[in-house]
Amino acid sequence: MLFKKSIPQLLAEANESGEGTLKRTLTSFNLVALGVGAIIGAGLFSLTGIASADNAGPAVILSFIIAAIGCGFAGLCYAEFASMIPVAGSAYTYSYATMGEFMAWIIGWDLVLEYALGSATVASSWSQYFSQFLLEFGIHFPQSLLHGPWEGGIVNLPAIIIVCLLSLLLMRGTKDSSSVNNVLVIVKVAVVLIFIILGWSFINPANHQPFIPVNPGEEAVKAGTKGFFEFFASDDFGHFGISGILRGAGVVFFAFIGFDAVSTAAQEAKNPQKGMPIGIIGSLIVCTLLYVLFSYVMTGLENYTKFAGDAKPVATAFAQTGYTFLNRFLMIAILAGYTSVILVLLLGQSRVFYSMSKDGLLPKVFSDLHPKNQTPWKTNLAFMVFVSIFAGFVPVSDLGHMVSIGTLFAFSLVCIGILILRKTDPELDRPFRTPWVPFVPIMGIIVCVLMMASLPIVSWERLAIWMALGVIIYMAYSKKHSKIRNAHQG
């Protein structure tokens, strides 16, 4: 039997109020800011340089557009679900309603990759920029405390500290966290706009030539001297050319991760039917425009080859303007960007585990709310420890691709969920309807799977291991404690 949550049951949960429930404090503006807060950060300030130097060259602009298209298709599907089922839990909850308990567990477990490991990845990068910011004032932070043991250090201490501080803030309440996020978003968007406006007049058109650097493997395929699958398995695949743009899209896709975190806060929105679509689609549109303009200016200011191995590609590009006095403000914006991303991802993770715990798939401790703040503070505490360990000791390069492939998998399942629900429950009230179904969800699946396919094989291997571990936990604990399963089986 396929154990599902009915839509009426989910709506009843969404309308719960009083003690033991999450507070509805977020406006449409808060939700857009939440999305922008989650999106603009590590991807824009770090991955633009990496993807242009290693994968796409100046055509990283196209990589951003492809990633945005995939996110746009998925975002439209998320918006329908979030307006229709305004419950904490995001893709986990939607999967429970459409594909049943086991797939819901898989997606919930998968979201740990996106939110928990995503916040660890960003915290590691935050640490590096923090040490550079201190250098502006002549303060040298010990290198051994900026890297974990696998990178020649002892521990990434600043990464641990920022995760702990933001976790404590989340325990205080969503409203306080949202207010801090709003300030961080205003700061970083302002500086991104300053970078674009000031940098535009310093663009050197020669830096955009060739726009798509040649890939020798692709040329060999065109000439008939190499087969496609031989090229696909070679080191040439993904390094410039069309394949480089696709892999670049898979890399910079990390820059869009987080817009779906808006949907995890559905149960805390004042008017979710209106606010959720605005928050999800609005934040995606704002960030896509900023990303395309930013990457165009950045690759125009400096030749993409100069970004190879550069820990501060944005600062390197901006140095070409001569406005070096703004470097400190740029650094502040980057730190603000990273901070808000960590904050929103930690928020999203705690809400997913809250929902899973409410359903009995995880121990009750994960859904215990603070008597005053009404936040799942024990979940925040648990992930403060879990994320701190990864941020402090695991190399950031090992985390990034895992986060991307886990998120793309989640997006694909949400698109599949829309197709299923339109077939099984066509008469349901949908405050926001995904347009052009089945075209939009099918294209969402295709684009996401293409980006997944472009990622290194090791990412697939790690995803398989992670999912296998999740299945073991489900069979050993969750299946036995599921409230819906036990209710059906009497």
Domain ranges of the chain: 7-16+23-489
Average pLDDT over residues 283-308: 92
Q: What pLDDT sits at residue 470?
A: 93
- Higher-confidence residue of 80 and 257: namely 80
| pLDDT tier for residue 458 given thresholds of 50, 70 and 90 | confident
What pLDDT digit, counting tens, does each position of 228-245 carry?
888 877 888 888 999 899
Q: What pLDDT sits at residue 23?
A: 67
Average pLDDT over residues 269-298: 85
pLDDT above 70: residue 398: no
Q: What percent of the chain has pLDDT over 70?
A: 92
**Range with the poorest average pLDDT among 4-13, 167-176, 184-193:** 4-13
pLDDT above 70: residue 439: yes
What pLDDT digit, counting tens, does each position of 2-53 carry?
788 777 777 776 666 555 556 667 777 777 777 777 777 666 777 788 889 9
Average pLDDT over residues 388-394: 88
pLDDT above 90: residue 415: yes
Q: What pLDDT sits at residue 137?
A: 84
Q: Which CATH architecture has domain 7-16+23-489?
A: Up-down Bundle (1.20)
What pLDDT digit, counting tens, does each position of 85-134 carry?
777 666 788 888 888 899 889 988 988 877 888 888 889 888 888 888 88
Q: What pLDDT sits at residue 333?
A: 79
Q: What pLDDT sits at residue 489?
A: 74
Peptide bond into 210 cis (omega under 30): yes
- Rounded CA-CA distance 137/156 in Å is 21
Mean residue pLDDT of the chain comes to 84
Average pLDDT over residues 441-445: 94
Q: What pLDDT sits at residue 174?
A: 63
What pLDDT digit, counting tens, does each position of 341-383 carry?
888 888 888 888 888 998 999 999 998 888 887 788 899 999 9
pTM here is 0.79
Q: What pLDDT sits at residue 488?
A: 79
Average pLDDT over residues 66-78: 88
